Protein backbone atom coordinates (compact mmCIF):
# COMPACT_ATOMS: atom_id res chain seq x y z
CA UNK A 1 0.00 0.00 0.00
CA UNK A 2 1.59 3.23 -1.15
CA UNK A 3 0.91 6.28 0.99
CA UNK A 4 2.09 9.63 -0.21
CA UNK A 5 3.60 12.15 2.23
CA UNK A 6 0.63 14.35 1.48
CA UNK A 7 -1.73 11.80 3.02
CA UNK A 8 0.18 11.45 6.28
CA UNK A 9 1.52 14.94 6.76
CA UNK A 10 3.91 17.53 5.44
CA UNK A 11 6.95 16.60 3.41
CA UNK A 12 9.24 17.44 6.37
CA UNK A 13 7.57 14.71 8.45
CA UNK A 14 5.49 17.05 10.63
CA UNK A 15 1.89 15.89 11.06
CA UNK A 16 -0.64 17.88 9.13
CA UNK A 17 -2.76 20.20 11.28
CA UNK A 18 -6.32 20.47 10.17
CA UNK A 19 -8.13 23.76 10.53
CA UNK A 20 -11.54 22.20 10.07
CA UNK A 21 -13.89 22.25 13.06
CA UNK A 22 -15.29 18.94 11.78
CA UNK A 23 -12.04 17.17 12.69
CA UNK A 24 -12.25 18.17 16.36
CA UNK A 25 -13.94 15.79 18.81
CA UNK A 26 -17.51 16.70 19.70
CA UNK A 27 -16.71 16.46 23.42
CA UNK A 28 -13.61 18.66 23.22
CA UNK A 29 -14.91 20.96 25.97
CA UNK A 30 -15.30 18.06 28.41
CA UNK A 31 -11.97 16.50 27.45
CA UNK A 32 -10.04 19.73 27.94
CA UNK A 33 -11.87 20.52 31.18
CA UNK A 34 -11.14 17.06 32.60
CA UNK A 35 -7.48 17.17 31.56
CA UNK A 36 -6.96 20.69 32.87
CA UNK A 37 -8.49 19.85 36.24
CA UNK A 38 -6.36 16.72 36.50
CA UNK A 39 -3.34 19.05 36.59
CA UNK A 40 -4.45 20.01 40.12
CA UNK A 41 -3.27 16.56 41.24
CA UNK A 42 0.46 16.39 42.05
CA UNK A 43 0.25 12.61 41.55
CA UNK A 44 -0.97 13.09 37.98
CA UNK A 45 1.66 15.75 37.24
CA UNK A 46 4.23 13.28 38.63
CA UNK A 47 2.89 10.65 36.22
CA UNK A 48 3.28 13.07 33.32
CA UNK A 49 6.82 13.91 34.44
CA UNK A 50 7.89 10.27 34.76
CA UNK A 51 6.45 9.46 31.34
CA UNK A 52 8.67 12.14 29.79
CA UNK A 53 5.83 14.05 28.17
CA UNK A 54 6.64 17.23 30.13
CA UNK A 55 9.85 17.54 28.11
CA UNK A 56 7.98 17.62 24.80
CA UNK A 57 7.78 21.08 23.17
CA UNK A 58 4.48 20.13 21.53
CA UNK A 59 3.00 19.24 24.93
CA UNK A 60 4.16 22.57 26.39
CA UNK A 61 2.52 24.26 23.39
CA UNK A 62 -0.70 22.37 24.22
CA UNK A 63 -0.47 23.61 27.82
CA UNK A 64 -0.09 27.18 26.51
CA UNK A 65 -3.19 26.66 24.40
CA UNK A 66 -5.15 25.65 27.53
CA UNK A 67 -4.55 29.07 29.11
CA UNK A 68 -7.77 30.34 27.51
CA UNK A 69 -9.55 28.48 30.35
CA UNK A 70 -8.47 31.29 32.69
CA UNK A 71 -10.97 33.63 31.06
CA UNK A 72 -14.09 34.06 33.22
CA UNK A 73 -16.47 32.51 30.70
CA UNK A 74 -14.50 29.24 30.95
CA UNK A 75 -13.05 29.46 34.48
CA UNK A 76 -16.55 29.26 35.96
CA UNK A 77 -16.56 25.54 35.08
CA UNK A 78 -13.38 24.79 37.05
CA UNK A 79 -13.82 22.94 40.35
CA UNK A 80 -10.13 22.69 41.22
CA UNK A 81 -8.54 26.13 40.77
CA UNK A 82 -5.09 24.81 41.74
CA UNK A 83 -4.96 23.48 38.19
CA UNK A 84 -4.25 27.03 37.00
CA UNK A 85 -1.32 27.37 39.39
CA UNK A 86 0.15 24.07 38.19
CA UNK A 87 -0.58 24.98 34.57
CA UNK A 88 1.51 28.15 34.95
CA UNK A 89 4.31 26.24 36.68
CA UNK A 90 4.36 23.61 33.95
CA UNK A 91 4.50 26.21 31.20
CA UNK A 92 7.02 28.62 32.67
CA UNK A 93 9.15 26.64 35.13
CA UNK A 94 11.38 23.98 33.60
CA UNK A 95 12.98 23.01 36.97
CA UNK A 96 9.48 22.33 38.33
CA UNK A 97 8.71 20.06 35.36
CA UNK A 98 11.98 18.19 35.93
CA UNK A 99 11.61 17.89 39.74
CA UNK A 100 8.05 16.56 39.55
CA UNK A 101 9.55 13.25 38.40
CA UNK A 102 10.99 12.81 41.93
CA UNK A 103 8.65 11.14 44.42
CA UNK A 104 9.97 13.23 47.32
CA UNK A 105 9.25 16.47 45.50
CA UNK A 106 5.81 15.21 44.45
CA UNK A 107 5.04 14.47 48.11
CA UNK A 108 6.31 17.90 49.15
CA UNK A 109 4.07 19.61 46.58
CA UNK A 110 1.11 17.52 47.72
CA UNK A 111 1.71 18.49 51.36
CA UNK A 112 1.96 22.16 50.45
CA UNK A 113 -1.28 21.90 48.51
CA UNK A 114 -2.97 20.31 51.53
CA UNK A 115 -1.70 23.06 53.85
CA UNK A 116 -2.99 25.67 51.41
CA UNK A 117 -6.45 24.07 51.41
CA UNK A 118 -6.40 23.75 55.18
CA UNK A 119 -5.48 27.41 55.63
CA UNK A 120 -8.08 28.57 53.09
CA UNK A 121 -10.78 26.42 54.65
CA UNK A 122 -10.06 27.75 58.14
CA UNK A 123 -10.22 31.34 56.86
CA UNK A 124 -13.43 30.81 54.89
CA UNK A 125 -15.37 28.56 57.24
CA UNK A 126 -13.72 29.02 60.60
CA UNK A 127 -12.67 26.24 62.88
CA UNK A 128 -16.11 24.76 63.37
CA UNK A 129 -16.82 23.43 66.85
CA UNK A 130 -13.16 22.88 67.66
CA UNK A 131 -12.07 24.68 70.80
CA UNK A 132 -9.00 26.83 70.79
CA UNK A 133 -7.22 28.37 73.77
CA UNK A 134 -9.07 31.65 73.13
CA UNK A 135 -12.51 29.99 73.20
CA UNK A 136 -11.91 27.37 75.90
CA UNK A 137 -13.25 29.75 78.60
CA UNK A 138 -16.70 29.74 77.06
CA UNK A 139 -19.06 26.91 77.84
CA UNK A 140 -21.23 25.07 75.39
CA UNK A 141 -24.97 25.01 76.15
CA UNK A 142 -26.02 21.69 77.59
CA UNK A 143 -29.06 19.57 76.87
CA UNK A 144 -30.53 20.60 80.22
CA UNK A 145 -30.20 24.35 79.59
CA UNK A 146 -33.73 25.77 80.03
CA UNK A 147 -33.04 28.60 77.55
CA UNK A 148 -32.96 26.06 74.71
CA UNK A 149 -36.34 24.68 73.81
CA UNK A 150 -36.98 21.62 71.67
CA UNK A 151 -39.24 23.70 69.45
CA UNK A 152 -36.20 25.29 67.78
CA UNK A 153 -34.82 21.93 66.64
CA UNK A 154 -35.94 21.24 63.08
CA UNK A 155 -37.63 17.94 62.38
CA UNK A 156 -36.59 15.84 59.44
Which residues in 92-108 are b (16+ Cβ under 10 Å) and which e?
eeeebbebbbeeebbee
Quick: pLDDT tens for 7-47: 333 333 333 444 466 677 889 999 999 999 999 999 999 99
Question: Residue 129 has what pLDDT?
Answer: 59
Quick: pLDDT tens for 40-50: 999 999 999 99
Answer whether 49's CB lies under 8 Å from 100's CB.
yes
CATH superfamily, domain at 28-124: Mediator of RNA polymerase II, submodule Med31 (Soh1) (1.10.10.1340)
Residue % of the chain over a pLDDT of 70: 67
Domain boundaries, the chain: 28-124
The enclosing H or E element of 47 equals helix 42-51
Question: Residue 16 has what pLDDT?
Answer: 40
Mean pLDDT within 142-154: 48
Nearest to 87 by CA among 119, 30, 45, 28: 45
pTM above 0.75, yes or no: no
Mean pLDDT within 96-106: 95
Amino acid sequence: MDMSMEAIGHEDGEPAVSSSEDDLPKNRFELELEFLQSLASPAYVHHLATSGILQSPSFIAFLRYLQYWKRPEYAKYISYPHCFFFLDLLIHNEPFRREMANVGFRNFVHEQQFYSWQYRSARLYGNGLATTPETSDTTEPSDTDPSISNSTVPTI
